[in-house]
Amino acid sequence: MASNLVRKADLRRETRYPLNGTLRILWEDSDGREVISKAQIVDVSVSGLKLRLEDKIPVRTYISCNEPRLGVRGRGSVRYCHFAKGKFVVGIEFTGGTGWREPSQD
């Protein structure tokens, strides 16, 4: 089973980094109404975020965010949404990037 975890990690395009912070995201529900959700960031990469929040967001829904303090901003698409430990865990892919930069390796 551990080999499956290693293989999955190797398929990622960028390294994920833990990031502690809260992010407000804007998205539209199935009726076209704008919804603002408060999400806890689990981890971040140059092109994606993993969030934990109260709301179920359908796959392929576009979300927008702008949090200059955390260096995260842009528009992304929901890749997955799973219920775990009382909240939804949501993966977001930002084709134009999250605006976040990897820590320097100096």
Least confident of 7-16, 73-82, 84-93: 7-16
Average per-residue pLDDT in the chain?
89
Q: What is the token pair recorded at 54?
A: 């109260």
- State the pLDDT at residue 11: 60
- Name the DSSP letter for residue 97: -
| pLDDT value of residue 8 | 52
Helix (H) or strand (E) holding 85: none
Give the whole-angstrom CA distance, residue 88 versus residue 71: 23
In this predicted structure, which of 22-31, 42-51, 97-106 has the lowest mean pLDDT? 97-106
pLDDT at 102 over 90: no
pLDDT band at 12 (very low <50, low <70, confident <90, very high): low
pTM for the whole structure: 0.84
